Structure 1
């Protein structure tokens, strides 16, 4: 099979590739603003059918109990996707606007390869634990703990890293024995729809186990959250939408996993290489045009070295020009849409209104007549109470803030509704350790350490979410715990 854009104009429901009941909708290339194809427009009736198929597959098949079969299917899916990497890469660049270099890592190849981790975990996990014999109320009793699949999972995913987030939900949910209804973002329907095609045509995953419903209708996400046939909703996206998902799920008291926004702090201690750390922070916030919830978008530097840090960050950001994502050297591609570009530009105007200075960037690159590009922008002259220092912008924008020592840096980092990620740079291990212990966030990088991995849990504190994705902790989000007690035999 060769994947083509035309293949993406279908839903996957109950093992069949079907047209959307609402027809189709256009898919835009954010680097050129051109319509590159069509995707299936799913409707409420399509979502209802998908939920029904997932419910039947869970309730009437052995999928949830056959661990070896699930592992084989996941490896089969990994092999099939790897045989189509070049087609998937082309589609991902065109639909997401992701720089080509990122498709060798977290935008495509990494998440596909991670499916093997979930297959191995399904086979090697301790599904049963013997607690031994006890005598509660004088009755000799043998207790065993079983881990079982939750049931039907509704997965709602965003547009910024679609493969990584789709597989971070599909992988553990399927490995744990659940069935899934996937509702991808309307900006990036192909990445999910083409995976659905591979599942239907190149794997032994039974009908109804995976269903994919693409649509521009955001109400379908609410439908997933509200439907009592769905046992768990796994959502990645904005904090505001995450709150709406929680409210929608409340009536049926279904479990909710949320991976939400961030405004993470990059803390530089006074014994660190100030220029090197500041340049690193500036470079990282430009990757994929700053469209990453875990990017460190607040640079906290010693007040006495503030000007030095600003100069280093400005040099780095001024040297990164937004570029064509198909070019191998591009780091900063386009924003996903005109709406997102308007949002970022609104925050840049707000920064000036709040009294800040745009040291570099702040506009649209002059050498692009089309495409949703924004220059990497460095903001100074504000404190942590400014909205651009408190709110998630989701663009290549870095705010530099001064701190007055380690304790003050921790205070500023924690003075945020979010707690998703962060970084600490310093040379004294004891000082670094104390700062790491003080920052209230789910993920921290020390001196450039890389935390992303299939076996490493990812998630946040506070309004950055509930639960963890990836690793054993992420796998267990999709499991229930059952205790079975029986009379002990002699």
Structure 2
């Protein structure tokens, strides 16, 4: 074990071919609530990446993992149980490394993602990997035909830092259920959270060596190798749209299947018959969830021009109620941004927005120690401006006035993104009529919650390709083989 790992008392290791592995190089993990080093992770290089891919290839090609549906369900059962058994250790790690609040770990940061594993373990016994087609007659002989669904092969799964457990399990569980083998790499800002999943798999499940390999690295060449390696069949990535474009281009050399869950600049539309008080509260507390570090958060609030100022005042009042600080305190609603680099990006976008004519109503300030940023509200935002077009990934809400329903739809669709959105109205019929005109992969009506293991999640336009979770999420990792037999 390296001197840094010994000093920090961190025991997380890479998982490669069934073995928990240390390396000479280490990757520092910071506690974003303090800015201090929390621990160190072993850092993978090209050699470890190649070893992980080779192990995944061997496990796929030479074992029964891809064809033994019952065994895969058994292993997913074990993983679910192990995650539940280790929930408190994972909670402490997630609060310290990710900056997630205690309350969020009871939801989408930790415990709800466990249910993704439960969902696919339960789906496997019910899912039909065969579809019979009608018999045909050809040259005087009957021919039986059917389609079999087979595992796509070796998967490179690359997850972002913001929801490390949810993003990892939304890739890992369906790909394993499909019969694939996996090389998983978490975000370099939260390496320990992802490595913890690897240790649980190695120590508490019967998943065979090589089926799951887990890496940590800040070296961009590792990600490049994972997306271009000739033995990788599928690439699944969650992160920014610019990086997604790069990955898609890199994978083209070997025509890999690419599944991308990328950025968002989602709009929440308040129609003029909405309950402005409840919708303003929803908008305010949504944008500060995990300090705004969520790709599906509604970061644009569209309000009819005549009501703009009144709604802005209500949202500002609710943002003033947000308690931010120590994420380990159960009373804290908002934790820190992940890094000083991210805080600088957020602050730069806010300051440029004000210089471009937006009104800073509240916030726009850094808070030390750690990487906190005050909940921020910008009013009178131009729908074509940078702050209305670029993903901020911070607790910043841009209020944009509109004229009528048609104008609201036009503004909502005025984006390269199409990940999520919401509509508030006293009339569900009217809200649905507007929602169905907005090009986005998920939509909330009057605060409806679509996020669950059985619901496909993904985006239109440059918010991504493919869907995570639900039956569609597993089918991303399946290939169809058509077979005909002459009688």
For this structure pair, what is the TM-score category when the shorter chain's length is used for normalisation? over 0.9
For residues 374 and 215 of structure 2, the distance between their equivalents in structure 1, rounded to whole angstroms, comes to: 35
8 A Cα contact 1:153 1:181, kept in partner? yes
8 A Cα contact 2:133 2:147, kept in partner? yes
Structure 2 residue runs of 5 or longer lacking an equivalent are: 1-7
Alignment-derived partner of residue 71 in structure 1: 73
Alignment-derived partner of residue 184 in structure 2: 182
Deviation at 1:381, TM superposition (A): 2.2
Q: Deviations over 1:257-297 (max 9, x none)?
A: 00000000000111111232122111110111000000000
Partner SS state of residue 49, structure 1 = helix
For residues 229 and 193 of structure 1, the distance between their equivalents in structure 2, rounded to whole angstroms, comes to: 23
8 A Cα contact 1:275 1:308, kept in partner? no
Deviation at 1:421, TM superposition (A): 0.1
Alignment-derived partner of residue 344 in structure 1: 346
> More deviation in 106-115 or 151-160?
106-115
Partner SS state of residue 342, structure 1 = helix
Deviation at 1:81, TM superposition (A): 1.5
For residues 138 and 35 of structure 2, the distance between their equivalents in structure 1, rounded to whole angstroms, comes to: 68
Q: 1:7 to 1:123 in 2, by over 3 A?
A: farther
8 A Cα contact 1:9 1:24, kept in partner? no
Structure 1 residue runs of 5 or longer lacking an equivalent are: none
> More deviation in 48-57 or 275-284?
275-284
Deviation at 1:205, TM superposition (A): 0.3
Alignment-derived partner of residue 417 in structure 1: 416
Aligned residue pairs total: 481
Moved over 3 A (4+): 5-9, 136-139
* TM-score, length of structure 1 as denominator length: 0.96
Alignment-derived partner of residue 212 in structure 1: 214
Q: 1:376 to 1:125 in 2, by over 3 A?
A: same
Does the alignment pair 1:394 with 2:393? yes
For residues 219 and 300 of structure 1, the distance between their equivalents in structure 2, rounded to whole angstroms, comes to: 41
Alignment-derived partner of residue 3 in structure 2: none
Alignment-derived partner of residue 95 in structure 1: 97
8 A Cα contact 1:274 1:305, kept in partner? no
8 A Cα contact 1:233 1:256, kept in partner? yes
Deviation at 1:135, TM superposition (A): 2.3
> More deviation in 431-440 or 45-54?
431-440
Does the alignment pair 1:360 with 2:359? no
**Among residues 10, 18, 23, which one is paired with 1:15 in the alignment?**
18
Q: How does 1:270-349 map to 2 (within 5 A)?
A: 270-349=272-351
Superposed CA RMSD:
1.3
Deviation at 1:327, TM superposition (A): 0.5
Q: 1:469 to 1:8 in 2, by over 3 A?
A: farther
Does the alignment pair 1:32 with 2:31? no
Q: Deviations over 1:64-104 (max 9, x none)?
A: 00000000001101111111111110001000000110001
For residues 232 and 6 of structure 1, the distance between their equivalents in structure 2, rounded to whole angstroms, comes to: 36
For residues 199 and 285 of structure 2, the distance between their equivalents in structure 1, rounded to whole angstroms, comes to: 37
8 A Cα contact 1:264 1:298, kept in partner? yes
Deviation at 1:137, TM superposition (A): 5.9
> More deviation in 54-63 or 429-438?
429-438
8 A Cα contact 1:8 1:40, kept in partner? no
Does the alignment pair 1:370 with 2:373? no
* TM-score, length of structure 2 as denominator length: 0.97
